[in-house]
Structure 1
Amino acid sequence: MELNSQIDHAERKKKIKKEVLSWAKTLVVVLLLVVAIRAFLFTNYIVYGSSMMPTIQDRERVIINKIGYDVGSPDRFDMIVFHANETTDYIKRIIGLPGDTIEFIEDSLYVNGEFIEETYLNGAVAKNNRRHYTEDFKLEWLTGEKTVPDGHYFVLGDNRPNSIDSRHIGFIPFDKIVGKADIAYWPIKDFRKLK
């Protein structure tokens, strides 16, 4: 009887050890997947500052799709994260694609001579106390270029009176783009797909 008890105890120990080892392997695989996804597919950013308000608030957290532009090209009005310099990343909205002419007249965007509505700014423009929400300019006045160069993008913050963007730092080369801002996830009550 005592021998059976010792055998049962030894078998239970083996089963527990096997179960713990199985869970440990699973945990290692999950951690490796999380690291791989974060490194190659998606990453998260905390947005600092007010340059993308009202679309994205200061200290809001967003998920960046890092592979979308490996299979497709950036589109007008995509919100992108890019390396502004060696230590700082910015989040801004693409306004001009390669080959575009850009002009703002009386808070109206003209791309290649055609009016393009910026519906994401409607509330901000209406609440604006300044003469213009976006000061009048032509691409050539700011950059010396008539069109956005190949492989580059012209970006603006949604909070035009308070944004350092292509009006100040010039065109953004494609190879400096980290990815597209897809989702705002924190604070959780404001979880949403970004537009």
Structure 2
Amino acid sequence: MSKEPWLAVNLSKIFPGLGQIYSGKKVQGYSLIFIDIALYITALWLILSSEGNIIIGFGLLVSLFCVWVWNIFDAYNAAKSRNTPEFEELRRQSKDPWLAMFLSQLFLGIGHFYIGKWLFGIFAVILIIVSSGISRFLPAIIYAVISYLAYVFSPVHRQRSKNWALIIAILIAISGLLAVGTAFFLRTYLAEARWIPSGAMEPTLHGTPNQWEADKVIVNKLNYRFQNPQRGDIIVFAPTEALQKEGYQDAFIKRIVGLPGEKVELKNGQVYINNQALPENKYLSSNQRTLIDVCTSGFEQPYLAKPVTIPPASYLALGDNRNSSYDGRCWGVVPRELIIGKVSKRFFPFNRIGIIE
């Protein structure tokens, strides 16, 4: 039985291996599905986990993309190899409805431009742009409908495969919704990317208002669902109540130096925990002294102007650039519930990529 090469491509674009299964190469198709899932899960683990190698993780994502591209070409050839010369000649005589459907997924309206429906193509572009501003999920459904209409409006429909059009449109919608939902789940519950906007964590993290010059990091949100924050962790947290009163709205990035129940005080430019000097030479420059002189705004009396005991479920967080960091010395502790996650890895710039300590 003849197979539609561009129908196979549509299937393999949605998920690698589906086009090969449609073309009759089931072992190859199922193998591609397994490889794709395995690469994706392994790459995520390497990038997000504290133990994983982020360089290898990104390398696997590049490999995953290469497999996806190769899979599309392979799906086309697998289907074409099943066809008779007569069917191939018939297929080339008119605009291919499956190619129109594929093009509609690649770029806004281009599938309709290909079949000569210019006005609808322009309408499709406008519709996608408008829907993107309404809901993050709506464009996936719009793409599915536009792709389906690209097939419907095509001048030629081959009867043996036309029933696939609705199936593929549904798969396009499902895959789009899953992609958006997965991205939302990852960002909300597992990890997110952030850039460092200030120099308060120098030299550990380079910060600048220009995000293209600043360090970009991965914030692990899963870590603290299974364990408590530890001393030395670099954390991202929402502004405390005291900071909100001063007008701060953006998240802060600091290092935990004091844990719940500990007595903290500043003496001779050093942090003392339970009357013992805290060794911080691993991340502090030799010229850094921990003083309260940086607290020039906000509170009349800085939080660490005198010894304090950290309340339960709260943490004292300071910047590594002690000479220029507005931190817990001035405004107090960070409640556990305000901690967004742990800064685990840097992914930009590329010459500084890796685990952060």
Q: TM-score range, shorter-chain basis?
A: 0.7 to 0.9
Query: Aligned in 2, Cα 1:20/1:158: closer, same or farther, shift over 3 Å?
Result: same
Asked if 1:116 corresponds to 2:107, the answer is no
How far residue 170 of structure 1 moved from its aligned partner, in angstroms, is 1.4
2:347–2:353 CA contact under 8 A, matched in 1: yes
Of the three residues 231, 235, 239, the one matched with 1:80 is 235
Deviations for 1:42-93, whole angstroms, at most 9, x for unmatched residues?
1011111110001100121010000111100000110000001473100000
Asked if 1:41 corresponds to 2:190, the answer is yes
Of the three residues 206, 209, 213, the one matched with 1:57 is 206
How far residue 39 of structure 1 moved from its aligned partner, in angstroms, is 2.5
Of the three residues 256, 266, 280, the one matched with 1:94 is 256
How far residue 24 of structure 1 moved from its aligned partner, in angstroms, is 1.7
Which amino acid is the alignment partner of residue 184 of structure 1? Answer: R
Question: Aligned with 2:193: secondary structure?
Answer: strand
Question: Aligned with 2:228: secondary structure?
Answer: coil
Gaps of 5+ in 1: 1-6
**Higher strand content, 1 or 2:** 1
Tell me the TM-score normalized by structure 1. Answer: 0.80
Question: Aligned with 2:272: secondary structure?
Answer: strand
Count of matched residue pairs: 177
Tell me the TM-score normalized by structure 2. Answer: 0.45
Which amino acid is the alignment partner of residue 192 of structure 1? Answer: G
Distance 1:184 1:121 in 2: 16
Deviations for 1:8-49, whole angstroms, at most 9, x for unmatched residues?
xxx232x43133124224664555434422221010111111
Q: Which residue number in structure 2 is paired with residue 151 of structure 1?
A: 313
Which amino acid is the alignment partner of residue 125 of structure 1? Answer: S
Which amino acid is the alignment partner of residue 8 of structure 2? Answer: K
Percent identity reads: 27
2:271–2:290 CA contact under 8 A, matched in 1: no
How far residue 171 of structure 1 moved from its aligned partner, in angstroms, is 1.0
Deviations for 1:67-121, whole angstroms, at most 9, x for unmatched residues?
1111000001100000014731000001111001112222332111122210234
Query: Aligned in 2, Cα 1:136/1:164: closer, same or farther, shift over 3 Å?
Result: closer
1:66–1:180 CA contact under 8 A, matched in 2: yes
Distance 2:355 2:283 in 1: 17
1:105–1:136 CA contact under 8 A, matched in 2: no
Q: Which residue number in structure 2 is paired with residue 4 of structure 1?
A: none
Gaps of 5+ in 2: 17-174, 208-213, 294-300
Q: Which residue number in structure 1 is paired with residue 43 of structure 2?
A: none
Larger Rg: 2
1:102–1:112 CA contact under 8 A, matched in 2: yes
Question: Aligned with 1:51: secondary structure?
Answer: coil
Which amino acid is the alignment partner of residue 134 of structure 1? Answer: T
Of the three residues 142, 148, 173, the one matched with 2:303 is 142
Distance 1:31 1:17 in 2: 24
Query: Whose relative contact order is higher, 1 or 2, with alpha carbons under 8 Å and at least 6 apart?
Result: 1
Q: Kindly report the root-mean-square deviation, in angstroms, between the aligned alpha carbons of the 2 structures.
A: 2.5
1:107–1:136 CA contact under 8 A, matched in 2: no
